[in-house]
């Protein structure tokens, strides 16, 4: 017990005599641990953010897309109204929302606005997706059947084109040379980018209206299917699959759940995060080399002390342990500082981004910094232990 006390006292005496040197040496490890923990925290936050966005899209949806969307082997098939009718008849299906989407420019008042998508779908889309029409109203089944030239626009479209959503209802915009009357403005949803579809930038029109100008081939890129009971999701999924396979090869079409899409996105970002963390880990190695360097200096400053200890009966192992404990404390000090700083920074960014530090990364960071202290301390400590007692004690 007092053995460790004596070693610790010696170590801390040396640290306090060389405060700046100790701090600078730990700094290398601190920066390494800080960057690794922060990147993990941001990666975890990103995952949580994406999950939250996908949760808000609803767990009672199936997505019918051309095959290979998630595996990278794109099939070129497009769906049509016949598929729409067949899918609607499946048991457990509440609504089938056809989707044909193209990027478009919006013209209004002699100006054009970029960065929006025209979404050709059915009248059920907004209600099935739980999107409220804040101003005006949505388009109806009659609008759809009569190929009415109407549109519901997303909050961002209204904001950019008309300045304020209130001004939008009743105005006429031109999209791909087709004039459309704005009948409603949807509420602000958020999302976009990693957080799912950019609903606020959508211009929703009846798909039959779209057949006349935006989609002359009368094809859909896919369907969103709302199921009656989310607990029956996989059962309904199998029914949808077998219905589609009557017409298409199994590889030509995919029926996805929320979790499939989420897993794909997560695996992409997970891989990216691992690469970033690995790059940050290089700085830990650099920090370790800094420790090794200082430990060599420490050993050569204390050759005489080592000789005295050997003359008093210390074994090689005692000297080895002494210097290993010192390098480990040095490294662990940097690790603890890095974790504390990472906590502070994470607290600082949490209002903007759900980054968080999990217990595992703290434990791993402490383990890794101790391991670095031992690995990079072993050569200097071995040098100290292998000194000849006689030469060490006569060293001036």
Interacting residues toward other proteins by CB under 8 A: 2-3, 6, 9-10, 13-14, 17, 304-305, 307-318, 388-390, 393
Tell me the closest approach of the beta carbon of residue 312 to other proteins, in angstroms. Answer: 4
Measured from the Cβ of residue 24, the count of other Cβ atoms closer than 10 Å reads: 12
CB-count exposure of residue 74 (10 Å: 0-12, 13-18, 19+): exposed
Between 20 and 312, whose beta carbon lies closer to other proteins? 312
| Nearest CA among 12, 107, 119, 57 for reference residue 256 | 57
| Tokens matching residue 322 | 């002494």
For residues 354 and 44, what is the distance between their CA atoms, to the nearest angstrom? Answer: 8
CB of 239 or CB of 310, closer to other proteins: 310
Query: Which residues, at least 6 apart from 124, have a Cβ–Cβ distance to it below 8 Å?
Result: 95, 97
The nearest distance, CB 5 to other proteins, in angstroms, is 9
Whole-angstrom distance, CA of residue 45 vs CA of residue 357: 9
Other Cβ atoms less than 10 A from the Cβ of 92: the count is 15
Q: Which of 161, 314 has the CB closer to other proteins?
A: 314
CA distance 373 to 329: 7
In a 13 Å sphere around the CA of 302, the CA atoms on its Cβ side amount to: 22
**Tokens of residue 324, six digits:** 């290993």
Choice between 7 and 332, CB closer to other proteins: 7
Q: Nearest distance from residue 26's CB to other proteins, in Å?
A: 20
Least CB distance to other proteins at residue 381 (A): 16
42 is written with which tokens? Answer: 């941001």
C-beta of 137 vs 394, nearer to other proteins: 394
Shortest CB 309 distance to other proteins, Å: 7
**Residue 36 CB, nearest approach to other proteins (Å):** 34
- Measured distance between the N- and C-terminal CA atoms of the chain, rounded to whole angstroms: 32
CA distance 175 to 266: 35
Cβ closest to other proteins, residue 10 vs residue 68: 10
Residue closer to other proteins, measured from CB, 312 or 360: 312
What is the smallest separation between the CB atom of 326 and other proteins, expressed in angstroms?
13
């Amino acid at each position: 017990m007092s053995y460790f006390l004596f070693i610790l006292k010696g170590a801390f005496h040396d640290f306090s005599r060389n405060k700046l040197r100790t701090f600078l040496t730990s700094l290398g490890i601190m920066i390494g641990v800080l960057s690794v923990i922060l990147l993990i925290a941001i990666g975890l936050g990103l995952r949580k953010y994406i999950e939250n966005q996908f949760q808000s899209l609803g767990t009672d949806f199936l997505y019918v897309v051309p095959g290979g969307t998630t595996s990278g082997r794109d099939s070129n098939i497009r769906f049509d109204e016949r598929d729409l009718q067949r899918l609607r008849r499946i048991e457990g299906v509440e609504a089938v929302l056809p989707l044909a989407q193209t990027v478009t420019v919006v013209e209004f008042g002699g100006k054009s606005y970029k960065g929006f998508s025209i979404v050709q779908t059915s009248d059920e889309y907004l209600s099935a997706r739980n999107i409220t029409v804040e101003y005006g109203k949505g388009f109806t089944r009659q609008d759809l059947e009569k190929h009415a030239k109407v549109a519901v626009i997303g909050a961002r479209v209204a904001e950019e084109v008309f300045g304020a959503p209130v001004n939008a209802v009743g105005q006429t915009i031109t999209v791909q040379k087709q004039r459309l009357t704005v009948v409603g403005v949807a509420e602000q949803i958020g999302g976009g980018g990693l957080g799912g579809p950019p609903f606020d930038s959508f211009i929703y029109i009846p798909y039959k209206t779209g057949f006349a100008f935006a989609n002359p081939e009368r094809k859909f890129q896919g369907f969103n299917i709302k199921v009656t009971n989310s607990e029956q999701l996989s059962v309904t999924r199998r029914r949808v699959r077998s219905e589609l396979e009557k017409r298409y090869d199994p590889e030509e079409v995919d029926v996805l759940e929320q979790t499939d899409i989420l897993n794909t996105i997560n695996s992409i970002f997970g891989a990216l995060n691992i690469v970033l963390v690995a790059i940050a880990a290089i700085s830990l190695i650099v920090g370790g080399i800094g420790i090794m360097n200082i430990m060599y200096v420490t050993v050569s400053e204390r050759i005489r002390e080592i000789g005295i200890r050997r003359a008093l009966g210390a074994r090689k192992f005692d000297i080895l342990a002494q210097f290993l404990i010192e390098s480990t404390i040095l490294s662990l000090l940097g690790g603890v500082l890095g974790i504390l700083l990472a906590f502070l920074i994470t607290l600082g960014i949490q209002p903007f981004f759900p980054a968080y530090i999990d217990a595992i990364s703290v434990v791993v960071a402490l383990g890794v910094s101790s391991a670095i202290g031992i690995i990079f301390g072993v050569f200097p400590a071995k040098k100290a232990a292998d000194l000849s007692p006689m030469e060490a004690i006569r060293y001036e």
